Structure 1
Amino acid sequence: MHHVKNLAKRAGHRVQKTVGYRLLRTKKWGVDWLDDCLRIASEGWHPQFRSLEVVFDVGANIGQTARKLHLRACPRTIYSFEPVASTFEQLRSNTENLRSVKCLPYGLSDNDQEAQINIYTASVLASTCDRSPILSSDCEAFERTETIQLRTVDSVCREFEIDSIDLLKVDTEGADLRTLQGASEMLASHRIGFVLFEFYCPTSPITENGTYCPVDAFLSSQGYRLISFYTDFVHEQQSIGVYNALYMATPEVLV
């Protein structure tokens, strides 16, 4: 047995050295948020959310997350929200063969209203925030503004008669707190299983947009607990990066 373990270890080192991949234990937390969601759901941590049947993909961009969910989780319905017109057309084209994906041409925030969104050279950076720790209309990547429509999670759930959301994924480039505040009714009644949101740093002297602590305080006040962090990017010199945090309702507040 010891010989077999050594062979496996050496094989793992060869894979890492040759192709840049490293083998990890399958139950290690914080590697892949979807793996962690599926694991928790299958183990029944939350009696009302045992699968990812209904997903809100807020800030869907061109469908990267929708395709990942479709292939690995097979939800009944993925509501993909993308407010930028040109990006929405790419989203619809990329997901037209995925029956579970429902594309909606508006963003989600804390009010139903029109708003201005800043468009940058990379479509994934589009944001309704004037400034965040990594973005502003003064930076070289800024291209233009566009008028978009915003809704709230709560109003969309009322319109489509959605009783519960298994996963609320929020990637709105600094406006994540506003999006979650627009889900206050669903969160307060614990009708959302998992919440995944993006942030750039814990706090910032520039703005709250894109920072972690205000979102943590809000979700904690609604009875949600931190599960894990996921790192997409870390800046070499500045104290910023691109991170995601996964939350779920604590057992004490389940009804």
Structure 2
Amino acid sequence: MKLPNGLTAHHVNAGETALLYRDIFVERCYMQHGITLSPGDTVFDVGANIGMASLFFHLEFAGLVFHAFEPAPVPHAALSANFATHEIAGTVTACALSDRSGTAKLSYYPNSSSMSSFHADPAAEAALMRTFLERSGFDEEDVDDMVDGRHVVQLIECPVRTLSEVIAERGVTTIDLLKIDVEKSELEVLRGLSEADWPRIRQVVAEVHDIDGTLDAFLSLLYGHGFTVALEQDELLGGTEIYEAFAVRKEL
């Protein structure tokens, strides 16, 4: 599809891609609270989906190197195509990052791919999606169509690895930005970092779900490893469990 900036993108769902474009390109949701990037920096895009975040960073900052991770096959195919089309430097990997290695079952929603999850709660997720779409200005009929489409779900066995395993395997010395959007698995991603690898992380931007103490545990890990953290909630998600965390090392 053609994006509002004139570029084309391989995608899964046009409506979903339009929402991603608005959040990432128009509202610049990742470039807040002191998050900065420079030419030559390394970005880990965890939960990359079709790669809209990577594309945004690639266009905004020259010479970045990316490591993008997306476990679901259809978004992964679009992600790979977008990296090739836009000559984004880096590696695309068909796996999830977690606190262990092995496999896990992903609940994949073909009609709402960015909300696919290893910790699916279809009823809660449908209610959350309805709230977000209604506040975004969609009419009731369109909302019903998109929410009803979430009843289509596929269980996919996906490989999972830890962040520290990837760092060691690829010889990564610094991750200048660790972007995490993994639908309730964000704490597991951080727990996949060994103590020795925490100093390699310079900045973190993450969507965090405040369920069963996850938000407090996530923030505690960041505070405990020398980050200052700003927490925000999109006005369209006010009163929900979803927050955005922006973490920068204190010495920066």
Q: TM-score w.r.t. structure 2 length?
A: 0.71
Displacement after TM superposition at 1:217 (Å): 1.4
Q: Which gives a bigger RCO, structure 1 or 2 (Cα 8 Å, sep 6+)? A: 2
Aligned pair in 2 of structure 1 residues 131, 225: CA closer, same or farther (>3 Å)?
farther
What secondary structure, in the 3-state scheme, does the structure 1 residue paired with 2:178 have?
strand
Aligned to 1:109: 98
Q: Distance in 2 between matches of 1:105 and 1:32?
A: 25
Task: After TM superposition, list the pairs within 5 Å mapping 1:133-172 onto structure 2.
Answer: 134-135=124-125, 141-142=150-151, 143-172=153-182
Q: Distance in 1 between matches of 2:47 and 2:189?
A: 10
Task: Name whichever structure is richer in helix by fraction.
Answer: 2
Task: After TM superposition, list the pairs within 5 Å mapping 1:1-255 onto structure 2.
Answer: 32-34=29-31, 36-38=34-36, 53-97=41-85, 98-120=87-109, 121-131=111-121, 134-135=124-125, 141-142=150-151, 143-185=153-195, 187-188=197-198, 190-201=199-210, 204=211, 207-208=212-213, 211-229=214-232, 231=234, 233-234=236-237, 239-240=239-240, 242-251=242-251
Aligned-CA RMSD value? 2.7
Aligned pair in 2 of structure 1 residues 31, 76: CA closer, same or farther (>3 Å)?
closer
What secondary structure, in the 3-state scheme, does the structure 1 residue paired with 2:171 have?
coil
Displacement after TM superposition at 1:228 (Å): 4.9
2:66, 2:88 within 8 Å by CA — same for their partners in 1?
Answer: no
Q: Distance in 1 between matches of 2:95 and 2:49?
A: 11
Q: Which moved more, 1:164-173 or 1:242-251?
A: 242-251
Which structure: larger Rg?
1
Aligned pair in 2 of structure 1 residues 133, 156: CA closer, same or farther (>3 Å)?
farther
Displacement after TM superposition at 1:93 (Å): 1.1
Aligned pair in 2 of structure 1 residues 185, 51: CA closer, same or farther (>3 Å)?
farther
1:53, 1:74 within 8 Å by CA — same for their partners in 2?
Answer: no
1:60, 1:80 within 8 Å by CA — same for their partners in 2?
Answer: yes
Displacement after TM superposition at 1:131 (Å): 4.1
Q: Identity over aligned residues, as a percent?
A: 24
1:117, 1:145 within 8 Å by CA — same for their partners in 2?
Answer: yes
Q: Which amino acid aligns with 1:72?
A: E
Q: Which amino acid aligns with 1:104?
A: T
Q: TM-score w.r.t. structure 1 length?
A: 0.70
Q: Distance in 2 between matches of 1:222 and 1:133?
A: 36
Displacement after TM superposition at 1:117 (Å): 0.6
Structure 1 unmatched runs, 5+: 1-29, 42-49
Q: Which moved more, 1:98-107 or 1:61-70?
A: 98-107
Q: Distance in 2 between matches of 1:130 and 1:74?
A: 37
